[in-house]
Amino acid sequence: MAIGLKLRLPIELKIEKRLQVSSRLRIGISLASLGLALALSSLIFALGGLSPLAVYGTTFSWIFGTSAGLSFLIVKGIPLLLCAVGLVVAFRAQVWNIGAEGQLLLGAVASAGLALFVMPSAPAPILIPLMFISGFLAGAGWALIPAILKAKLKVNEVITTLMMNYIASKLVEYLIYGPWRGKTTWGFPYTDLIPPNAVLPTVPGTSIHWPTLILALASTIIVFMLMERTSLGYEVKVFGDNPDLARAAGIRPSKIIILTMLISGGLAGLAGVGELAGRHRMLRNPLHISAGYGFTAIIVAWLARLNPLACVLTSLFMGSLLVAGCVMKSSMGVSEASVNIFNGLILACIAAGEVMLRYKVRLSFSWRGRRRGVGNGPGRAHAPRGH
């Protein structure tokens, strides 16, 4: 039996490998997994003393009822989308970049440094693109160390990228309490506000910093084209599916590992620039800046089944869950970290749902110890085949 339970019942669960998978089945299973995860999360929140229905209701009506709510959703969705499409590239190569949080922070640090100290008086059309470029490079650079360690020494990248997150967080802490502490902040641990020519323009009436939004949407399309239409994307897919075959076919593993990490790190860095220059306008407590975007982006990517275009939808969905988290915090005082309950359960249910994709579950009934398939007659002794 494929399931590790010994049921002494007359029912037998058999798991058979599926031959073909239709996209309808894929979507159906994703939705079912999602539904299960939401139900379980709601149960947990209810047990914790919250009223999930009230939370969902408030969230829903705020997002779809007010322009403030809708713009808040989009603001949450932008860094999610940027990080997620980067992660799609890495995950397709089976490179587990869990460091988007840290890479995002480095993007924020680089652009803050540029705006506050290197060229604070540069005009916006020069400064802002440079900020984005520096953010991309910083995020990519932060991903480079784990990339090289994995490429050259096969070091597990899950742990190294996670460690880089903590290091990045400490770095930001060090800067805001130390050398970069603002002169106008009365001793609070922030940097000064970045100069107005470094602030990203927003859609009037909202807080949506549209340059980052455009970058996010453009990256989505670029990543899609990259994966589906270019030879690099092809190599990434082959490598992710069977690295031994890729190597035997001449695809260099280190090239794939390093490039995919650089891309996903860079895109996370862009998200960091957006958060810094579009939302906070200063460097502050790292937890407020990265706010779990890096981790939630993993769910966004996974929920989208590593399809960059689907990430647009899933980033909006996960964004709304983040909004729900804010609602829970403001109305009930629950910590924002609770959102991780959503994240964890959705990921777990999707992982469980994958089974349904690969395997068909068959129920068969056995009668008095003799085995019968569904719909077949009882076993019978046959006359021997003659020679």
Partner 1 sequence: MDLVGHMLHVAIRSGTPLLLAALGEIFAERSGVMNLGIEGMMLVGAITGFAVALATGQPWLGLLAACAAGLLMSLIHAFLSISLYANQVVSGLSLSMLGLGLSSLMGYAYVGVALPSRILPSPVPGLADLPVVGPALFCQDPVVYLALALAIASWFVLYKTKWGIMIRATGDDPSAADAMGINVYLVRYICVAFGGALAGLAGAYLSLVLTPAWVECMTAGRGWIAFALVIFALWDPLKAILGAYLFGATEALQFYIQASLGVDATLLGMMPYVATILAMLVAASEVLRKRLGAPAALGKPYIREERVI
Partner 2 sequence: MGARGEAPRSREPLVRMVGITKRFPGVIANDKVDFELMPGEVHALLGENGAGKTTLMNILYGLYRPDEGQIFIGGREVEIRSPRDAMRLGIGMVHQHFKLVSTLTVAENIALSLEGTGLILPARRVRARILEVAQHYGLEVDPDARIWQLSVGERQRVEILKLLIRNAKVLILDEPTTVLAPREREELFKVLRKLAYEGRGIVFITHKLEEVFRVADRVTVLRKGRVVASGLPVRSTTPSELAKLMIGRELKPRLVKKPARLGEPVLEVEDLSVLDDRGLLAVKGVSFNVRRGEILGIAGVAGNGQRELVEAIIGLRKPRSGRIRIDGHDVTGKAPADVLKLGVAYIPEDRARYGIAPDLSVAENLILKLYKVPPFKKGFFLDEEYILSWSRKVVSDFGIVTPNVRAPAGSLSGGNIQRLILARELSTRPKLIVASHPTFGLDVAATEQIRLLLIEQRERGAGVLLVSEDLSEIMELSDRIAVMHEGQIVGLLSPSEADVEKIGLMMSGKLKEVDG
> Contact positions toward partner 2, by CB under 8 A?
1, 16-21, 225, 229-231, 234, 237-238, 241-242, 244-252, 369-373, 376, 379-385, 387
Q: Which does 339 bind (CB under 5 to 8 A by kind): partner 1, partner 2, none?
A: partner 1
Please tell me the distance from the alpha carbon of residue 3 to that of residue 83, in angstroms, as a whole number. 36
> What residues make contact with partner 1 under the rule CB under 8 A?
2-5, 15-17, 44-45, 48, 96, 98, 145, 149, 153-156, 158-160, 162-164, 166-167, 170-171, 173-174, 177-178, 295, 298, 302, 333-335, 337-348, 350-352, 354-355, 358-359
In the complex, what is the shortest distance from the CB of residue 209 to partner 1, in angstroms, rounded to a whole number? Answer: 27
Q: Which is nearer to partner 2, 252 or 288 (CB)?
A: 252
Q: DSSP label at 49?
A: T
| Residue 140 near which of partner 1, partner 2, none (CB within 5-8 Å, type-dependent) | none
Q: Can you say whether the dihedral through the CA atoms of 116, 118, 121, 124 is positive or negative?
A: negative
Kindly tell me which of 133 and 167 has the beta carbon lying closer to partner 1.
Answer: 167
| Cβ proximity to partner 1, 216 vs 350, nearer residue | 350
Pick one of partner 2, partner 1, none as the site partner of residue 343 (Cβ within 5 to 8 A by kind).
partner 1
Select from 147, 86, 137 the least CA-distant residue to 107: 137
**Shortest reach from residue 155's CB to partner 1, in Å:** 5
**Amino acid code (one letter) for 237:** K
- In angstroms, the CA 137 to CA 77 distance is 22
Partner that binds at residue 354, options partner 2, partner 1, none, CB closer than 5 to 8 Å by kind: partner 1
Q: In this structure, what are the phi and psi dihedrals at residue 271, rounded to the nearest 5 degrees?
A: -60, -40
Q: Is 249 exposed, middle or buried (0-12, 13-18, 19+ CB in 10 A)?
A: exposed
CA distance 71 to 64: 10
Compute the least distance from the CB of residue 290 to partner 1, in Å.
13
Give the whole-angstrom CA distance, residue 38 versus residue 321: 10
Please report where in the chains the tokens 């490179």 appear, as a residue.
Answer: 95
